[in-house]
């Protein structure tokens, strides 16, 4: 009897030791989230990603490690989407203009020209039912949408001044992969060219394209202003991101960790959205101070001319983006089309 008790005790001790070493091993091998993106670390998206990393690592007590891969270090635009689906990376924050090739064309509603009068109008969509519906459409693709990050309004950059619509005639303009952006450039009389963000600088420098639309924080960090002589403040479009994860990976996380990570994303989102406008203004000031690019703001009359040329794109894109999606976007953004 005594022997039996001793043996049981021994077994319990062995079991406990095994469990302990297993939990030590678990604690030593953190879950790794590879977060890939295409812009510089010193941008609203780059800083938002950094904030998420810090929060996640701190709040999970090291159980999660977030590895950031900025500047298309791992993958370019299209490849990173595929890598996410395959699980080679776990997290991305692509521009909303890059979901068309995935087959979720409704995201291109965000690219409709002059849809948003301000950042609040944009949030009307992302914080509401349409924003949630769009994320649901990603799930059959093995992707889960976690948050929207704003990055302000699109401007134009070119190797010549762009004031009137006629100035666009024949200009080769780099765009993201959205068909709405393609229609936008054509409506202006330009020739759109889809190109990965990582190839932009080289293409502008070598003259493969004559210009591009984009935001000041990207123009500054990619040194676009060093190889382009003119910039037009037009606010004709809007740039924002979806923070997305591989669904299988996310759903497979221990529930307690997932809850912590969700709160980290929420906080990083508030931060990224709060800094975007200031970051873009500061980048614009630095571009101006460089003296390398002439920055021009459209007059009210010029802006009205651009609008007139661009508004037909809304109707033209109904068959692609969906009439109901466009109507829902108008409502959420408080946009009233001119009769």
Report residue 193 as tokens: 């060219």
**Residue 197 Cβ vs ligand LMR, minimum distance, rounded to whole Å:** 3
Q: Which is nearer to ligand LMR, 218 or 234 (by Cβ)?
A: 218
CB of 218 to ligand LMR, least distance (A): 5
Please say which residue, 90 or 95, places its beta carbon nearer to ligand LMR: 95
Tell the smallest beta-carbon distance from residue 214 to ligand LMR (Å): 5
Cα 113 to Cα 95, 175, 256, 329: the distances in Å are 16, 14, 42, 13
For the residues of 28-50, what is the DSSP string, one character each? Answer: HSPEEEEEE-SS-SSSHHHHHHH
Cα→Cα distances 231→7, 131, 193, 283, 291, Å: 81, 31, 19, 13, 12
Nearest CB to ligand LMR, comparing residues 116 and 197: 197
Minimum Å distance from CB 177 to ligand LMR?
Answer: 9
Q: What is the spatial distance between Cα 111 and Cα 124, in angstroms, rounded to a whole number?
A: 15
Q: 113 or 302: whose CB is closer to ligand LMR?
A: 113
Smallest distance from ligand LMR to CB 56, Å: 21
Output the smallest distance, CB 167 to ligand LMR, in A: 21
Q: Which one, 155 or 218, has the nearer CB to ligand LMR?
A: 218
Residue 177 φ then ψ, to 5°: -75, 0
Question: How far out from the chain centre does Cα 325 lie?
Answer: 20
Closer residue to ligand LMR (CB): 272 or 317: 272
Q: Could you give the C-alpha distances from 140 to 102, 149, 247, 322, in angstroms and in order?
A: 11, 22, 9, 19
Name the residue nearer to ligand LMR (CB basis): 125 or 260: 125
89 Cβ partners below 8 Å, 6+ apart? 34, 35, 36, 69, 74, 75, 80, 83, 246
Rounded CA gap, 192 and 212, in Å? Answer: 9
CA distances 67 to 53, 99, 189, 294, 314, Å, are 8, 23, 43, 38, 39
157: exposed, middle or buried (Cβ count in 10 Å: 0-12, 13-18, 19+): buried
Contacts of residues 199-205 at CB distance under 8 Å and 24 or more positions apart, as own/partner, are 199/76, 200/174, 200/224, 201/227, 203/174, 204/157, 204/159, 204/174, 204/228
In whole angstroms, the minimum distance from the beta carbon of 75 to ligand LMR comes to: 12
Supply the minimum distance, in Å, between the C-beta of residue 210 and ligand LMR: 16
Q: Minimum CB separation from ligand LMR for residue 184, in Å?
A: 14
In this complex, which beta carbon is closest to ligand LMR, that of residue 179 or of residue 260?
Answer: 179
| Interacting residue ranges for ligand LMR, rule: CB under 6 A | 38-39, 95, 176, 197, 214, 218, 239
| Residue closer to ligand LMR (CB basis): 95 or 273 | 95
């Amino acid at each position: 009897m005594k022997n039996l008790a001793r043996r049981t005790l021994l077994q319990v001790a062995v079991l406990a030791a095994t469990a302990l070493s297993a939990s030590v091993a678990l604690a030593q091998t953190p879950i790794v989230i590879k977060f890939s993106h295409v812009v510089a670390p010193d941008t609203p998206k780059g800083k938002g990603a950094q904030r998420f990393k810090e929060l996640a690592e701190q709040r999970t007590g090291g159980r999660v490690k977030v590895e950031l891969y900025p500047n298309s270090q791992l993958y370019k635009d299209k490849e990173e989407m595929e890598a996410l689906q395959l699980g080679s990376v776990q997290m991305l924050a692509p521009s909303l203009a890059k979901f068309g090739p995935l087959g979720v064309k409704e995201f291109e509603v965000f690219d409709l020209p002059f849809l948003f009068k301000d950042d609040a109008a944009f949030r009307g969509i992302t914080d509401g039912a349409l924003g949630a519906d769009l994320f649901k459409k990603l799930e059959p693709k093995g992707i889960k949408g976690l948050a929207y990050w704003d990055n302000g309004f699109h401007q134009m950059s070119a190797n010549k001044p762009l004031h009137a619509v006629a100035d666009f005639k024949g200009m080769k303009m780099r765009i993201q992969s959205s068909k709405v952006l393609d229609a936008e450039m054509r409506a202006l009389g330009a020739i759109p060219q889809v190109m990965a963000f990582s190839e932009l600088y080289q293409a502008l420098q070598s003259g493969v394209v004559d210009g591009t639309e984009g935001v000041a924080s990207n123009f500054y960090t990619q040194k676009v202003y060093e190889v382009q002589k003119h910039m037009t403040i037009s606010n004709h479009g809007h740039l924002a991101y979806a923070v997305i994860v591989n669904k299988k990976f996310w759903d497979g996380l221990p529930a307690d960790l997932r809850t912590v990570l969700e709160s980290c994303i929420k906080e990083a989102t508030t931060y990224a959205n709060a800094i975007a406008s200031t970051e873009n203004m500061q980048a614009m000031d630095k571009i101006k101070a460089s003296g390398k690019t002439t920055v021009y703001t459209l007059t009210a009359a010029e802006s009205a001319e651009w609008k007139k040329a661009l508004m037909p794109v809304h109707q033209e894109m109904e068959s692609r983006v969906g009439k109901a999606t466009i109507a829902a976007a108008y409502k959420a953004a408080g946009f009233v089309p001119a009769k």
